[in-house]
Structure 1
Amino acid sequence: MKPLLLKDIVREIDGSLVKGYEESTIQKVVKRQSNIDQHVLYFCLAPYACNWDLLKTKQGYSIVVDHLTGEEPIHKDVNIILVNDCKEAYWKFICYYRSLFDIPVIGVTGTCGKTTTKDMINHIAKEDLMVHKTFQSQNGLHLNHGYLFGLDDSTQLAVFEMGVAYRGNVRSSGRYFRPTVGVITNIGEAHLEGCRTLENYIKAKAEMLEALSYKGMLIINADDENIKKIDMSNYQGKIISFGVNEEANYRANKISYANEGMNYTLLNSGKQYTVFIPGYGEHNIFNSLAAIAACHSIGISIETCINRLQTFRTMSRHVKIYEGYNQSMVIDDTWSCNPSSVKAAMQVLKNISKDKKEIFVLGKMQRLGKHLQEQHIKIGKTFMEMGGLDYLITVGSHAKLTGMSAIENGMAASKVIMVDSASELDSVLEKLSGENSCILFKMSLGKMKSEYRQVVVKYRQA
């Protein structure tokens, strides 16, 4: 955090310093009483949230309150700021703190590819700029406060993931981050548990326009049918697109699978560029296009972006390839599991398995709410439309619906194996694995029993 003088904070939040020293320096801002320490500013956001008996032994901190009785047991070395409304004061302060940084801030949202796109942007920019970014895929609203106060005088670029569980999430993140560049990677069928319908989910992602204050740079996937449903009529800023669509500003063609990655030709403003990115899958090409467009928008040349992406490495459990157990080829894509990422993983399996036996291990797709059964059934049909599989192994009762759907759509019942435990899965894979097999694990391991992780680790290792 950039250190601030208390008197400046009091001015910006329209408060009154009823006790203390206005020249005090604030080095940290917190919303939890347990985090109070010296040089800390605490906003008492919940009514009567202050436990003054616990606070009476602490000193050297500052507190913002909207209610005082005059009988609070307060240490003499404590600054007290009185405001009309603590929550309103907090948001005034958030707005003030963000305004102290006249730097490019890139917000990234989308069903799939948020983390990879954000990490690609960081990988490209970090050689020239001091970058502050969200950690891995941790983009929960409760983390926004800490991410904002990670900005300091050394920060030259910020890249924030802006996730969606419910409508209003991107709007809330936008109040903290106020991005100058917004990226929407894609909009698939996910997070229906909180958003209820795809239409609501699209509207939730469309809040990126509001986060940008309907100005600035908006970077969107030109091929995504759901993004096309967003009402852009009130957007006053510049809209840039990426994809394979001929109208895309950053367009990929001549796409091919290469050794440990993807090749393609990038077309932009009448020029052509040869691109290689590590990691398999056409979805990864879209991630790279979004990252290149974002970095180019802040002044990094396309040539530099392409050159630096050659050394990019994806996060663990994001379509990672291994020469694994029993000489099997193993694809670990177990970070998350939703319809969009399942289709992308299937596409990778189809393209790299070559003549090997294709084995797809599918777990429960997450956060689909009342649409869970419908989406699992739909994926079974999709598998068959994409060419089918040699073996489909489903894990648990929900994924079983996908197996039954695959059978209904023409897959031999003997090729669909339904298991309910890690030991069953291991037993089946022992029989099917071998040098002529390609095993794809597609599940959200973080939401499953640890025994399943042990199975995946076993088959990843040679």
Structure 2
Amino acid sequence: MKPLSVECIRTILSGDLIQGSDDVIVHFGAYRLKQIKNQNTILFLRNNVVNLKKLVEYFPVVLVTDQTISRGVLYKNLTIIKVMDVEEAYWKFVNYYRSLFQIPVVAITGTAGKTTTKAMISHILSAEKTITATNSTNNSRTAHLQYLLSIDDDTEAAVFETAVGAPGDVLKAGEYFKPTIGIITNIGAHHLNYCKTLEGYIQAKGEMAKILDHSSVLIINSEDHNTKKIDLSNYLGRIIKVGIDPSCHFKADDIKYCKDGMQFCVLHEEKYYSVFVPGYGEHQVYNALAAIAAVHEIGIDLPVAADRLKTYKNLNKHLQVYEGLNGSTILDDTWSMTTTSLEAALKVLSEVGETKKRVAILGTITDLGSWGYAIHEQAGEIICKIGVDILITIGYHASIMADQALESGLNAQVYTFSNNPLAYDLLTKIVDENTIILIKGDMYSKPMIELASQLRKKH
């Protein structure tokens, strides 16, 4: 955080100094008690009651409140700023702080690929710029303030994920970050427990266009069916399309699987550029196209971006390849589980395992609410369309995928289990060096992660 004096902050907030000194310097910000981890933090106190004893170890602390605090509980090294409305004061502070920095800010949303795209952009930019970015997949709304305050005078660019758990989440992120470049990687079917319908989810992702102004850039996947449903009629900025369609501003050609990744050419402004991106799958090509388009907007030449992309390290549990049980090959994709990422993973299994026995071990898709049954049926149809030789599901809802795949005509051996040990016992008997195994679940499914670890060869 750029250090700010209490006097400066008080002026911004039109607040009164009730206790303490205008000379205190603030280095951190919080709006929840548990977010205070350091001294010299400003806390916007939204609750009527706070146990100040819990803050003593972090003093000096600056408290912004619209409540009257009893003189009997005041402490040394506690500065209090009284405001008319603490919520209004909080947003004054957020808007002021963001206005201090005229830098490129990239915001990324999408059902799949946003963390990878963010990581690619960060990797390319960090070679010559000081950047800040969301940490791993920690993209919840409670983290927005900390990420905003991670921008300081040395920061030259910022890259943030803007996840959708419910309608309004992207709009809220926009209030903090005010991005200059927005990216929608793709839109599948997810978080229907709060978005209620696929249309509601599409609209929630489409909020990206609403948080960008007329001078901004929106990067979209031109082939994504659901992204095409977003109403962009009121968006006044530029739109950059990436994909394989001739209309794309960044068009991928001659896509090939090669050792440890994907090789392809990018056509941009009638010039071709050769690109290699670590990590398997055509979805990885789309992630790379979005990243290249974003960094090009920030001023990185395409040959430079392509050269830096070669050294990108594919993310943990994103279709990582390992030697596995009985000499088999393991594709560990236990990071996330949506129909979008499932389809991408099964395509990789099909391509990389073309000459091998293809085994898919699949867990449950979460955050679907009342849509759970229908979405798992859709997943079963996807499995049937792409095909596997052996399908293993773990968990009740995952078994719906197996049933639907069989009903749709899947020609494969199918097993449904309620737990890991049963699946592992079967695998010890049916896999060998001519077997490739995709194991797919999400980061919150400990059983799937544990099974993936069991299947890896121990050195």
- Number of equivalenced pairs: 457
Distance, in Å, in 1 between the alignment partners of 2:72 and 2:57 is 12
Which residue identity does 2:392 align to in structure 1? Answer: I
Contact 1:202 1:226 in 2 (8 A): yes
Residues 73-117 of structure 1, C-alpha deviations (whole Å, 9 max, x = no match): 212543221111001101110111111111111111111000000
Contact 1:184 1:220 in 2 (8 A): yes
Shift of 1:190: 1.2
Distance, in Å, in 2 between the alignment partners of 1:320 and 1:50 is 46
Shift of 1:395: 0.7
Instruction: Kindly indicate whether residue 226 of structure 2 is the aligned counterpart of residue 230 of structure 1.
Output: no
Alignment of 1:265-284 (within 5 A): 265-284=265-284
Contact 1:129 1:156 in 2 (8 A): yes
1:396 alignment partner in structure 2: 395
1:191 alignment partner in structure 2: 191
Residues 261-280 of structure 1, C-alpha deviations (whole Å, 9 max, x = no match): 11111111111111111110
Instruction: Kindly indicate whether residue 69 of structure 2 is the aligned counterpart of residue 85 of structure 1.
Output: no
Q: Where does structure 2 lack aligned partners over 5 or more consecutive residues?
A: none
Indicate how the Cα distance of structure 1 residues 258 and 109 shifts in structure 2: closer, same or farther if over 3 A, else same: same
Instruction: Kindly indicate whether residue 39 of structure 2 is the aligned counterpart of residue 43 of structure 1.
Output: no
Indicate how the Cα distance of structure 1 residues 223 and 23 shifts in structure 2: closer, same or farther if over 3 A, else same: same
2:368 alignment partner in structure 1: 368
Indicate how the Cα distance of structure 1 residues 87 and 130 shifts in structure 2: closer, same or farther if over 3 A, else same: same
Q: Where does structure 1 lack aligned partners over 5 or more consecutive residues?
A: none
Shift of 1:403: 0.9
Contact 1:57 1:75 in 2 (8 A): no
1:319 alignment partner in structure 2: 319
Contact 2:384 2:406 in 1 (8 A): no
Contact 1:333 1:443 in 2 (8 A): yes
Residues 159-195 of structure 1, C-alpha deviations (whole Å, 9 max, x = no match): 0011000001011111111111111111111111221
Indicate how the Cα distance of structure 1 residues 70 and 323 shifts in structure 2: closer, same or farther if over 3 A, else same: closer
Further displaced range: 201-210 or 57-66: 57-66
Instruction: Kindly indicate whether residue 439 of structure 2 is the aligned counterpart of residue 441 of structure 1.
Output: yes
Secondary structure of 2:358's partner? strand
Contact 2:322 2:330 in 1 (8 A): yes
Distance, in Å, in 1 between the alignment partners of 2:367 and 2:69 is 46
Which of 435, 455, 459 is residue 455 of structure 2 equivalent to?
A: 459
Distance, in Å, in 2 between the alignment partners of 1:154 and 1:147 is 15
Alignment root-mean-square deviation, CA: 1.8
Contact 2:325 2:428 in 1 (8 A): no
2:424 alignment partner in structure 1: 426
Indicate how the Cα distance of structure 1 residues 166 and 351 shifts in structure 2: closer, same or farther if over 3 A, else same: same
Contact 2:64 2:80 in 1 (8 A): yes
Contact 1:180 1:216 in 2 (8 A): yes
Which residue identity does 2:453 align to in structure 1? Answer: V
2:210 alignment partner in structure 1: 210
Indicate how the Cα distance of structure 1 residues 89 and 287 shifts in structure 2: closer, same or farther if over 3 A, else same: same
Instruction: Kindly indicate whether residue 32 of structure 2 is the aligned counterpart of residue 32 of structure 1.
Output: yes
Alignment of 1:338-349 (within 5 A): 338-349=338-349
Which residue identity does 2:152 align to in structure 1? Answer: D
Alignment of 1:378-417 (within 5 A): 378-386=378-386, 388-412=387-411, 415-417=413-415
Contact 1:400 1:418 in 2 (8 A): yes
Contact 2:441 2:449 in 1 (8 A): no
Which residue identity does 1:257 align to in structure 2? Answer: Y
Contact 2:325 2:457 in 1 (8 A): yes
1:247 alignment partner in structure 2: 247
Shift of 1:69: 5.6
Further displaced range: 271-280 or 341-350: 271-280
Distance, in Å, in 1 between the alignment partners of 2:38 and 2:236 is 44
Question: Identical aligned pairs, as a percentage?
Answer: 39
1:115 alignment partner in structure 2: 115
TM-score by length of 2: 0.96
Residues 395-439 of structure 1, C-alpha deviations (whole Å, 9 max, x = no match): 111111111112112235x71111111100101111111011111
Distance, in Å, in 1 between the alignment partners of 2:116 and 2:80 is 44
Indicate how the Cα distance of structure 1 residues 58 and 124 shifts in structure 2: closer, same or farther if over 3 A, else same: closer
Shift of 1:36: 7.3
1:337 alignment partner in structure 2: 337
Distance, in Å, in 2 between the alignment partners of 1:424 and 1:298 is 51
Distance, in Å, in 2 between the alignment partners of 1:360 and 1:134 is 31
Which residue identity does 2:414 align to in structure 1? Answer: V
Distance, in Å, in 2 between the alignment partners of 1:398 and 1:243 is 33
Instruction: Kindly indicate whether residue 201 of structure 2 is the aligned counterpart of residue 201 of structure 1.
Output: yes
Secondary structure of 1:446's partner? coil
Distance, in Å, in 1 between the alignment partners of 2:214 and 2:368 is 30
Residues 8-61 of structure 1, C-alpha deviations (whole Å, 9 max, x = no match): 111111212233321221112222335276422121112x13335666897532
Which residue identity does 1:381 align to in structure 2? Answer: E
Further displaced range: 18-27 or 215-224: 18-27
TM-score by length of 1: 0.95
